[in-house]
Structure 1
């Protein structure tokens, strides 16, 4: 018989949630109401939230008590065709879920319904320390910029501490699930240069917007990347020009050219993109700005690390992560966050996405240990 965390993961992965998270949220909400004594809510955008305390009383979020949250998301990126099959009802479909060689395969298994399942079970089974609340949250819209997390924060969801179940397995070495104490953010920018159009036979009669954009691209290329030291490691940012578009015809000097910049940010630092302001007739807009994360509470990070080591045969470490997650939004709002989850590098968003059942069990045990000792 499959482990409970494997069974719950299979149930969650089977529910499509790349264009509408409602059905997956329904499963999570129903399970929490049936399996726990927590106060369970579903907010206006579809986030599923639950809260409990040791004495069994239903806590009010406004209570002045310390809180620890297990945080995940139940939306996924669009599946590959091989990850979908037709459902019994005409016009409907479901995700393909398979279990083999100790792993569960399917869209969202690694990112991150497996971690959500492990957190749900740990939340149910753990007893919160006296004087504190234990919280569970599964957000919508993480894959499209943290829609659910931002809404929850705006509505007052700011736990004191959070363990976000994004991937941290095999970061320091094979066979361990590490504790991430910082990650990079992402800022996406569109830069537009303006010129004056003219016939290409008389280029001096116009102002070539592509030349102006090329000067801006060179400025971006020469930028120094910021870096910070976290947990004994250097977490470095980056800046790259990723797309360019300009011109209307081979014989026309263009009056407009635009290009996009992908900037990976680090806590407290930004690349000096303001140098672009020195170029005339240039404007830039921020299309997306996902914040980085850094845990500033060393005692909390160490407590999570000790809980992880207690259930490991290996030796997990404090590490950093290159990808932005909902932990960035929570950290920006004032929550001390770490990341601890089953997904391995290269597993998320792939056509053969999968997660190890043994690591799911490890995460479940670790989450419960954290909940009862933090």
Structure 2
């Protein structure tokens, strides 16, 4: 791989990132998908498609004419992102509905800059520019819609047959092992949101024995949740600890009425291979309902995880990287993330070995002044390009 970026690559990454951030995609993702599809068709030799779910998909193949869907069952490496965002803060949107976007102090500001249009631009440009080794996998690119509402686009694509062998998902992994360092997440927790619904019988509060107090039943369920064992998992030597917590309770209709219904909300952070037995808190008069279940992720392919880590370390050694320090560049590490991404769906439903690696720093996504470091976006471009150019099937 060359020591320097291809001519104008940094400008391309930054221009595409800015254009994506400026394009609204919280209520309707069509315009952002259109932009990305046009860019891929106009600047790459890849086979590009837009599926029925609004996902943007493309493929390249070493030494072969690209097709999408790929024409053979040869192994595939995927660069994965999403182009939807959460609703903008008032200060992040103009009166006409367009997004406010700006650059200052080396950072790109605007809704979606961190989560994850900065990294999405880096993924797209690296997909275009990577020199694919003859003994390497096919390279695909996927930008999904609906990630922020439970991974709708990713799940639909998997149902349609999207199943890469390996994937680099460009969600944030910067700042875990050290400030500004872009690490490689080999696992993350999932999230299961559920509700315990306690049923009772209403009565006048002056004669409580004539009713059945749903709040009391809910209280017993809360105690059961509090006493649950939470699972742990180990992924490539890293420990993940699950959690479970009651996060809300609502019941009763008036101060003088024995409540006939009470709902308890439960937030559970799951780990690969195991989860808390929340259902045990249900019982007589108490039902358990799962509202959302986002799967955890684990990469079990140590060779792939190490290849991405080597690319991350090489990217930090680039002469233009502002964090480089002569003979002592920052040293990225394998880390774990606390929250779910589309990597969980790929691991759970498609059998993919994914890692998460991207420009966003911890705590930056979904904020009123969301931003991303442009130098880190440049670094991610180099990182992604190196992964595609060096990872082989051997």
TM-score (norm 2): 0.91
Where does residue 376 of structure 2 map in the other structure? 359
Query: Among 143, 149, 155, which residue is 1:150 paired with?
Result: 155
Residue 69, structure 1, aligned to residue 78, structure 2: yes
Query: Among 258, 266, 270, which residue is 2:275 paired with?
Result: 270
State how far apart, in whole Å, the 2-side matches of 1:162 and 1:322 are.
19
Check whether the contact 1:169–1:345 (CA below 8 A) recurs between aligned residues: yes
Unaligned runs of 5+ in 2: 1-7, 317-328
Over the aligned positions, Cα root-mean-square deviation in angstroms equals 1.2
Where does residue 201 of structure 1 map in the other structure? 206
Where does residue 31 of structure 1 map in the other structure? 39
Query: Among 336, 341, 349, which residue is 1:320 paired with?
Result: 336
Alignment of 1:330-349 (within 5 A): 330-332=346-348, 333-349=350-366
TM-score (norm 1): 0.96
Unaligned runs of 5+ in 1: 87-91
Alignment of 1:113-128 (within 5 A): 113-128=117-132
Check whether the contact 1:37–1:56 (CA below 8 A) recurs between aligned residues: no
Check whether the contact 2:235–2:299 (CA below 8 A) recurs between aligned residues: no
Shift of 1:56: 4.8
Shift of 1:128: 2.3
Structure 1 residues 214-241: Cα deviation after superposition (integer angstroms, max 9, x where no partner)? 1001111111221112233321111111
State how far apart, in whole Å, the 2-side matches of 1:331 and 1:230 are.
13
Where does residue 195 of structure 2 map in the other structure? 190
State how far apart, in whole Å, the 1-side matches of 2:337 and 2:363 are.
13
Residue 290, structure 1, aligned to residue 294, structure 2: yes
Task: Tell me whether 59-68 or 294-303 shows the greater mean CA deviation.
Answer: 59-68
Shift of 1:262: 0.5
The alpha-carbon distance between structure 1 residues 207 and 335, as it changes in their structure 2 partners (threshold 3 A), is: same
Check whether the contact 2:180–2:361 (CA below 8 A) recurs between aligned residues: no
Where does residue 89 of structure 1 map in the other structure? none
Check whether the contact 1:231–1:319 (CA below 8 A) recurs between aligned residues: no
SS of 2:98's partner is strand
